[in-house]
Amino acid sequence: MKKSIAVLPGDGIGPEIIRQAVKVLDAVASKYSHTFEYRYADVGACAIDRTGNPYPETTHEICTTSDSVLFGAIGDPKYDNDPAAKVRPEQGLLAMRKALGLFANIRPVKPYPSLLSASPLKDSIVDGADFIVVRELTGGMYFGEPRGRNEAGDKAFDTCVYSKAEIRRVADVAFAYAARRRGRVTLVDKANVLATSRLWRETVKELHEEKYGDMQLDFLFVDNAAMKMVSNPRDFDVILTENMFGDILSDLAGVINGSIGLLPSASSGAERSLYEPIHGSFPQAAGRNIANPVATILSAAMMLEDAFGAVEEGAAVRNACEKAIADGVCTPDIIPGSRYGTEETGDYIVRQIISSGK
Ligand code: IPM
Ligand code: MN
C-alpha cells in the first residue's frame, strides 16, 4: 500500500522519539513492500518561533490532506513559567484536536510481564491489568466558554460544557471497544457534584439501554476511580470519561505500566485519526538520548492497525517492542542504569522487525 503520513515532531523530546517511529515505519515499509510518504510540519513552541501561531494553517492543510497523522509532543518551559504569555504551545495541540475533530482519545494500558517490577506498585496489583481509557478530547473545561479573567483581572474562570451529542458519540466509541474486549464500560464522573457529569450519566445510560444492552455498564466517581486504578486495576475493562478526568487518570495509568514512556494513544474523529504518545515534551531530557521512544513507536503501530488496516505489520511492531523490553534493551526510565538510549532502542526494535518471520 501507499500512504501519506503527516509527521508533527513538536517540541522537547518530540523530534528524537518521532525519528525512531519513522525508522520503524521505514522498516515496516521495506519488509512488507509498502510506501510511506512523510510530510513534516510544525506544531507547538517550534511553530510559534517560526510563525507566531502554534498550529499554522499550513500544518492543518498537511494534516487534512494526509492519510494519517503522527504527532510527538509539545510544550516548552519558557511558556510554563510565563503565565502572561499570549500564545502557548498547548493551544496548538488543542486547536489541532478541535480542527481535526478528534473527539475520542484511546489510551490502552497493559503492563509487560517482564516489566512488572518497573511499576512502583506491587506485582500482585499490576499483574493482569488490561484496560483502555476512552477520553473525550474536544469538549469540557478545555474548550468551554466563557473562559478567562474578569476586567479587574483578579478572578479567573473556566467553564465545563457538554452536550448530549458530544457524549453520545464518544460513548459509542467506548461501547465499540468494549464489544471487542470483555464487554464492560465504566463511566467515570463526578455526578455527585457536577451538572455535566449528571448529563453524562443520563446520556450514557440511555445509549446503553437503546443499543448496548448486552454490555455491562457501571459508574464510578473520579476520586474513587483514581484510588481503584492503583489498588485494583484489573477491575477495569473500558473506562469512559470526560476530557479533564481522562487527562489526569491516564497519567496515573502510566504508573501501572512502569513508565508513561510506554503508553501510546490514538485520537480519532469521524474523518481521521492522529497517533501520539500520552507523555509530554519532557524538556529536561531533550537532546540527551534518554527519552523512551516506545510510546511513540507503539502509537505508530496503532496507526498501522487502525488507520491502514495493516494488522500483521502492527503486530510485528508490537512484538518487536516487547522483545526489546524483554531483552533489557530500553531507556533508563524502565531499565535503571541502561546503556541503551533513544536511538539504540529504536535501532534494536528496527532489527527485530527486519529479522522477524513473516
Ligand atoms: C495530553 C497532554 C495535553 C492535554 C496537554 C499538553 C495540553 O497532557 O495529551 O494528555 O492536557 O490534553
Ligand atoms: Mn496529559
* 77 and 175 share one domain: no
Query: How close is the Cα of 106 to the center of ligand 1, in Å?
Result: 13
172 has a pLDDT exceeding 80: yes
131 has a pLDDT exceeding 80: yes
**What's the average model confidence in pLDDT over 137-142?**
98
* 91 and 178 share one domain: no
Query: How close is the Cα of 280 to the center of ligand 1, in Å?
Result: 7
* 9 and 65 share one domain: yes
Q: Give the cell for residue 295.
A: 510510546
* 187 and 206 share one domain: yes
Q: Is residue 338 part of a domain?
A: yes
More confident residue, 89 or 118: 89
Is 306:39 a contact under the CB 8 Å cutoff?
A: no
* 51 and 131 share one domain: no
Residue 140 Cβ contacting ligand 1 at under 6 Å: no
- Between the CA of residue 154 and those of 86, 88, 149, 151, 309, what are the distances in Å? 17, 21, 7, 8, 52
DSSP code, position 192: T
Q: How confident is the model at residue 86 (pLDDT cuts 50, 70, 90)?
A: confident
* 128 and 73 share one domain: no
Q: Is residue 186 part of a domain?
A: yes
Is 189:157 a contact under the CB 8 Å cutoff?
A: no
* 90 and 122 share one domain: no
Q: What is the pTM of this model?
A: 0.94
Burial of 2 (0-12, 13-18, 19+ CB in 10 A): exposed
What's the mean pLDDT when you consider all of the chain? 96
Is 89:45 a contact under the CB 8 Å cutoff?
A: yes
Predicted confidence (pLDDT) per residue in 180-239, tens digit: 999 999 999 999 999 999 999 999 999 999 999 999 999 999 999 999 999 999 999 999
Q: Is residue 180 part of a domain?
A: yes
Residue 278 Cβ contacting ligand 1 at under 6 Å: yes
Q: Is residue 284 part of a domain?
A: no
**What's the average model confidence in pLDDT over 129-137?**
97
Estimate to the nearest angstrom the gap between the alpha carbon of 347 and the chain centroid.
23
Residue 75 Cβ contacting ligand 1 at under 6 Å: yes
Q: How confident is the model at residue 356 (pLDDT cuts 50, 70, 90)?
A: confident
Residue 133 Cβ contacting ligand 1 at under 6 Å: no
357 has a pLDDT exceeding 80: no
Q: What is the pLDDT of residue 300?
A: 98
Q: Probe ligand 1: pick from 55, 79, 90, max atoms within 8 Å of CB? A: 90
Residue 76 Cβ contacting ligand 1 at under 6 Å: no
Domain residues for 215? 103-268
Is 187:208 a contact under the CB 8 Å cutoff?
A: no
Predicted confidence (pLDDT) per residue in 317-347, tens digit: 999 999 999 999 999 999 999 999 999 999 9
Q: How confident is the model at residue 254 (pLDDT cuts 50, 70, 90)?
A: confident
| Residue 218 falls in the annotated catalytic set | no
Q: How confident is the model at residue 178 (pLDDT cuts 50, 70, 90)?
A: very high
Q: Is residue 286 part of a domain?
A: no
Q: Is residue 203 part of a domain?
A: yes
* 111 and 257 share one domain: yes
**What's the average model confidence in pLDDT over 21-42?**
98
Which residues have beta carbons under 5 A from ligand 2 (an ion)?
247
DSSP code, position 287: T
Burial of 22 (0-12, 13-18, 19+ CB in 10 A): buried
Q: Is residue 281 part of a domain?
A: no
Query: How close is the Cα of 247 to the center of ligand 1, in Å?
Result: 7
- How many domains, in total, are found in the chain? 2
Is 70:63 a contact under the CB 8 Å cutoff?
A: no
257 has a pLDDT exceeding 90: no
Q: Is residue 288 part of a domain?
A: no
* 181 and 212 share one domain: yes
**What's the average model confidence in pLDDT over 25-44?**
98
Nearest CA to ligand 1 atom 4: 247
CATH at residue 22: 3.40.718.10
244 residue type, one letter: M
* 242 and 109 share one domain: yes
Distance CA 39, CA 209 (A): 44
Would you tell me how many other CB atoms lie within 10 Å of the CB of residue 277? Answer: 30
* 58 and 89 share one domain: yes
Distance CA 59, CA 63 (A): 6
Query: How close is the Cα of 324 to the center of ligand 2, in Å?
Result: 26
110 has a pLDDT exceeding 80: yes
Distance CA 234, CA 207 (A): 25
* 227 and 329 share one domain: no
